[in-house]
Amino acid sequence: MDNQIGLSILSAVLDSMSYPNQIVSGGGQNISDATDVCDLHRYLMGGGYQTNQDALRRGAASLQYGGLLSARSPPLSIALPSSLLDEQFHKDFTDTSDNGVEFYRGGSNYIRPCGWQRYALKVKGKYPDDIWLKGKYRRADEYSSAEGEWPVSYHGTSLNNGLSIAEEGFKLSQGTRFLYGKGIYSTPDIGVASLYAMTVNVDGKSYKFVLQNRVNPTNLKKVCKAVTGVGEYWISPNDDDIRPYGFCVREVESHSPFCVLQ
């Protein structure tokens, strides 16, 4: 798995969210404003801005995300260094099948991203501790939870659909509609997140993009499939309770800005 391809896909996602950015591959370049994983966390959770095209056509101010930028603010320059990714934890699940095998993380079933490639973000040491990711002690085996770790969830990044950063997810400060309660929406099932996944084009190929997170189980609200009619939703009360630690990509046949539910 090539870091540069992963960074290119991530850059295309940020571009689709109206973040001007550049890819920096390292090589000794001195980039003082290079993005680290905590910056990326903020960007993907709406700490920048998204242009409201209708408002622009009316000559009005653009829609603000997170209250950090206005229509008159200069464009963000987001440098994506290769150090953003943790290559040793990348994993290709493209040909993996977990039929009949169960994995657990944080005391919850871990539905691995089978059929996808997972790029790991370098999150070690970026938060007050690493227990949320690794647990207090080494896990007994690859199938078991480690004490203190957080469960795994997935988050689609489409700007138009339900489990999206621009709608229910990652937009607490805007007081936007929340179908099942206020909070940050994700799901334990990458198949559900895929329904809301953004599709981006890189070098003539199209990829779906889904964030992989850990969520704080202490105050996590779960909404079952029988209620949603789609799949299980997890709702975290604020952005401190959900931490992206990787992103999953899957090549698809044709490019479309958004994956539309049928």
Residue at 257 is within a domain: no
Taking a C-beta distance cutoff of 8 angstroms, is the pair 98, 114 a contact? yes
pLDDT for position 230: 86
pLDDT for position 30: 40
Residue at 49 is within a domain: yes
Radius of gyration (C-alpha) of the chain in whole angstroms:
18
Between 74 and 115, residue with greater pLDDT: 115
pLDDT for position 70: 32
Residue at 260 is within a domain: no
d(CA 219, CA 208): 30
Model confidence at 86: pLDDT above 70: yes
d(CA 41, CA 53): 25
Residue at 262 is within a domain: no
The mean pLDDT of the chain is 75
Residue at 261 is within a domain: no
Model confidence at 247: pLDDT above 80: yes
Residue at 259 is within a domain: no
Model confidence at 187: pLDDT above 70: yes
pLDDT tens sequence across 10-41 = 888 888 776 666 655 444 344 334 567 777 77
**What's the structural domain count of the chain?**
1
Residue at 31 is within a domain: yes
What residues make up the domain containing 105?
3-252
pLDDT for position 18: 66
Residue type, 260: V
pLDDT for position 234: 92
Residue at 70 is within a domain: yes
Residue type, 93: F
